């Protein structure tokens, strides 16, 4: 089965623009070409695109996805390497969640201190300007 880039995009959930980007960056190999020069994608390409899409949905970076793809393609790899990458990503996500929660608390506190009336005084803007 060979499909065009548009069909590959539809079947994988990855836009044609992103498919081209993944090829340019080396995350995916170059597509095969027909005699008339059109890019065509096979079943293995579609599997890789779905893999990348799912990894992106889980928040992995492009570098992490490249590592995961290499591990996925290496059938002799130890699952411990995959688990290590996943757990490192979980730790990073938890750190980022903590940072986002702290930002939300700060903004909530600033919003509580803001009267939200017709006066120009605003603790939110004062904080952003460094004039707490």
To the question of pTM greater than 0.85 for the whole model, the response is no
CATH number at residue 29: 1.10.1660.10
Percentage, residues of the chain above pLDDT 90? 81
Residue 86 domain boundaries? 78-132
Which residue, of 32, 60, 88, is where some domain finishes? 60
Domain count, the chain: 2
Mapped onto helix, strand or coil, the DSSP state of residue 32 is strand
Residue 68 maps to a domain: no
- pLDDT for 51 equals 97
In this predicted structure, what is the pLDDT of residue 89? 97
pLDDT on residue 132: 59
The answer to whether position 70 is within a domain reads no
Is 10 within a domain?
yes
Same domain, 100 and 53: no
Q: Report the range of poorest mean pLDDT among 44-53, 93-102, 105-114, 117-126.
A: 117-126
Query: Has residue 120 got a pLDDT over 70?
Result: yes
What does the pLDDT look like over 5-26, one tens digit per residue? Answer: 999 999 999 999 999 999 999 9
pLDDT in tens, 23-39: 999 999 988 888 888 88
Buried b / exposed e along 22-61 (16+ C-beta atoms within 10 A):
bbeeebbeebeeeeeeebbbeeebbebbebbbebeeeebe
Say if CB 16 and CB 10 are below 8 A apart: no
**Tens digit of each residue's pLDDT (9 = 90 or more) over 66-106:** 999 999 999 999 999 999 999 999 999 999 999 999 999 99
Q: Please say whether the beta carbons of 5 and 19 come within 8 A.
A: yes
Helix (H), strand (E) at residue 105: helix 79-113
**Contact predicate 72/85, CB 8 Å:** no
Sign of CA dihedral 79, 64, 61, 16: negative
């Amino acid at each position: 089965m060979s499909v065009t880039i548009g069909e590959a995009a539809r079947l994988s959930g990855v836009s044609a623009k992103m498919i081209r980007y993944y090829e340019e960056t080396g995350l995916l190999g170059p597509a095969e070409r027909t005699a008339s020069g059109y890019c065509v994608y096979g079943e293995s390409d579609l599997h890789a695109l779905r893999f990348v899409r799912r990894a992106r949905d889980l928040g992995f970076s492009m570098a992490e996805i490249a590592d995961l793809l290499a591990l996925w393609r290496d059938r002799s790899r130890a699952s411990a390497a995959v688990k290590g990458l996943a757990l490192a990503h979980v730790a990073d996500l938890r750190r980022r969640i903590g940072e986002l929660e702290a930002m939300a608390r700060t903004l909530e506190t600033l919003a509580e201190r803001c009267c939200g009336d017709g006066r120009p005084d605003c603790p939110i803007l004062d904080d952003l300007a460094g004039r707490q």
